[in-house]
Amino acid sequence: MHQLQAFWHTLIHAFRNLLPIIIVVAVFQALIIRQVPDGLVAISIGLLVVVLGVALFLQGLEMGVFPIGKSLSNAFARRGSIPILLSFGFAMGFAAVIAEPALIAVAAQAEIISGGRVNALTLRLIVALSVGAVVALGVLRILFGHSLHWYMIIGYMVVVMVTFFAPEEIVGLAYDSGGVTTNIVTVPLVAALGLGLAASIRGRNPLTDGFGLVALAVMVPMITVQIYGILVYSFGEAPEAAAQATQMVKEMAELEPVALSAAALLGNMLRDLLVMFRDVLPIILTVLLFQYAVIRRPIAHLPKVIFGFVLVIFGLYAFVLGLKMGLFPIGRSMAEQLIQLDQVLFLYLFACCIGFATTMAEPALIAIGQKAEEAANGRLSGTMIRILVAIGVAIGITIGVHRIIAGDPIHYYIMGGYTLVILLTWLAPKYIVALAFDLGGVTTSEVTVPLVTALGIGLATHIEGRNVLIDGFGLIAFASIFPIVTVMLYAISVEIYNRYQTKPSKGGKP
Minimal CA–CA distance to 358: which of 336, 332, 327? 327
Report the C-alpha gap between 44 and 50 in whole angstroms. Answer: 10
Assess contact for 490 and 379: CB atoms under 8 A: no
Which amino acid belongs to residue 258? V
- Alpha-helical (H) ranges within 201-239 are 213-235
Sign of torsion over alpha carbons 468, 238, 171, 179:
positive
Q: How many C-beta neighbours within 10 Å does residue 12 have?
A: 12
Name the DSSP letter for residue 446. Answer: T
Per-residue pLDDT of the chain (510 residues; tens, 9 = 90+): 677 877 888 788 778 777 887 888 888 888 888 877 777 788 888 888 888 887 887 788 778 776 776 677 677 767 767 888 888 889 888 887 887 767 877 788 778 777 778 888 899 999 999 989 988 888 888 888 887 778 888 888 898 889 888 887 788 878 777 777 765 556 666 766 777 777 777 777 766 677 777 778 888 888 998 899 888 877 655 445 444 544 544 544 444 444 445 677 677 778 778 877 877 788 788 878 888 888 888 877 788 888 888 888 888 788 778 877 877 787 777 777 888 887 888 889 988 998 888 787 666 676 677 767 776 666 677 788 888 999 999 999 999 999 999 988 888 888 888 889 889 988 988 878 888 887 877 776 666 677 787 788 888 888 888 887 778 878 888 888 899 999 999 989 988 888 887 765 555 554
Assess contact for 329 and 43: CB atoms under 8 A: yes
Minimal CA–CA distance to 478: which of 382, 305, 359, 363? 359
Report the C-alpha gap between 81 and 493 in whole angstroms. Answer: 41
Residues 6+ away with beta carbon under 8 Å from 302: none
Minimal CA–CA distance to 103: which of 116, 84, 122? 122
Report the C-alpha gap between 157 and 364 in whole angstroms. Answer: 28
Query: What is the per-residue pLDDT across 485-507, written as a single tens digit (0 to 9) for each?
Result: 999 999 899 888 888 877 655 55
Assess contact for 142 and 201: CB atoms under 8 A: yes
CA–centroid distance for 31 within its chain: 31
Question: Can you give 16-53 as a three-state secondary structure string?
Answer: HHHHHHHHHHHHHHHHHHCCCCCCHHHHHHHHHHHHHH
What is the enclosing helix (H) or strand (E) of 56? helix 40-60
Minimal CA–CA distance to 121: which of 110, 131, 137, 130? 110
What end-to-end distance do the CA atoms of the chain give, in Å?
64
Give pLDDT, residue 486: 94
Report the C-alpha gap between 49 and 92 in whole angstroms. Answer: 28
What is the enclosing helix (H) or strand (E) of 497? helix 475-506
Query: What is the per-residue pLDDT across 249-274, written as a single tens digit (0 to 9) for each?
Result: 454 444 444 444 567 767 777 877 88
pTM as predicted: 0.72
30, burial (CB in 10 Å: exposed 0-12, middle 13-18, buried 19+)? exposed
3-state secondary structure of 2: helix
Query: What is the per-residue pLDDT across 7-38, written as a single tens digit (0 to 9) for each?
Result: 888 788 778 777 887 888 888 888 888 877 77
Assess contact for 476 and 451: CB atoms under 8 A: no
Assess contact for 487 and 215: CB atoms under 8 A: no
User: Where are the domains positioned within the chain?
Assistant: 65-256+263-304+326-506
Strand locations in 129-195, DSSP E? none
Minimal CA–CA distance to 312: which of 15, 53, 27, 87? 53
Give pLDDT, residue 504: 59
Report the C-alpha gap between 400 and 397 in whole angstroms. Answer: 5
- Alpha-helical (H) ranges within 61-147 are 66-79, 82-98, 101-113, 120-144
